[in-house]
Structure 1
Amino acid sequence: MSASSIAGWMATMNGNKTISFFDTQFERQVREGDFALNPFERLALPYLYGKILDLGCGLGNLSIKAARRGCAVLALDASPNAIARIKRVASTEKLSITAEQVDFDSYAIADMFNTVVAIGLFMFFPRERAIELLADAQAHVLPGGAIIVNVLVGGTTYLDMFEPGHYYLFSESELREHFRDWEVLEFRHDSFPAPGQTVKEFVTVVARKPQNPEG
């Protein structure tokens, strides 16, 4: 798997070193015109509808595809290059996308959405913040709406993209517990080889919020 593919799969996160690393990869992808959906985005696409929040949107490939299908998208990322690319496409094609550069260390969701997407984001934070971000995303899905979450999980041995001591690998059982009151539509584990005979272990969850959630 190429470095540019990894960058596309891992939405940006906190830590200046890490943001700089991925921003460089985004620059390369833009130069090469590499805007194909990755496997996680392809899995998410059929579930996207209505008003969408794309957390850690990267170059916006999924956001742009959804907007072309008539959705209204708020696309957020820490990378200035990624956000600049999305704004250019949205302006040229007159798409309903609002793209903003944000700091996910402190960002809090302010609106409700039919669909919330977070592909490759939450693992780039310490445990407390990772869980807080997940809970905030869940809380801002409208009843009957969907959330798509993709994270690296325990068993991952490729850690080069992380700030030392500034990441969290969820367990599969932990993710299932976070979605125990939701209708789980997809729960998929994918393994990918990485440099140095290491491995990346991903879990992708697609879940629908109950129409009448408790609390």
Structure 2
Amino acid sequence: MSRSEARPAEPFASLAQQGEADRLGMWLFIASEIMMFGGLLLVIWFYRLAHPQEVAEALASMHWLLASGNTALLLSGSLCMTLALAAARAGEARRLIGWLLAAAVLGAGFLVGKSVEYTQEYHEGLLPGFGLESPLQAGAARLFMNVYFTATALHGVHILVAVALVLGLAARTWRGGLVFPQRAISVEMIALYWHAVDLIWLFLYPSLYLAGRGA
């Protein structure tokens, strides 16, 4: 492993300067993602306030226990990413790889759980646009399920990207392509993305599954 791998990229004068630029870029990207999902959350809550009875009908059909289990997987993945960052800053590459792989497994578990949930909703006629007759009587309830599917599918794509980034980072570390702790910023950026996706889910989960249930 050469020392050149720990040098900053052009046009940065130092790794610290490059790290600051990386952080600024990531925070700007995260802000754009939050604005996008913020718009979806506004639509969700508009439907909730405008059609409370119809939304309650949709909520009665949703698999909130499965979503709760998925939430636990995602938050556990965030913990693994935090521990991975600590390992990177300590220069412990082997421990870093272990935590990265654990986070990837938990993220993949979330995607599997979401696939199971979608499969159940497909057989129940709840997913929009698949030709099965919906058990929901109110049009607003079916529209709420459209918003639910759009928000959760978009979030699922973000989880897929996060898992791919984590696996790529683990592979580069295993091949010796990164020097730690000098390049801990690489882990920090992916951890920030993972935490941001988790934070978005922590707003989506109660908004879609819990608020108003049984009211």
The answer, yes or no, to whether TM exceeds 0.5 is: no
Indicate the structure with greater helix content: 2
Task: Give the TM-score taking structure 1 as reference length.
Answer: 0.24
User: Higher relative CO (CA 8 A, sep ≥ 6), structure 1 or 2?
Assistant: 2
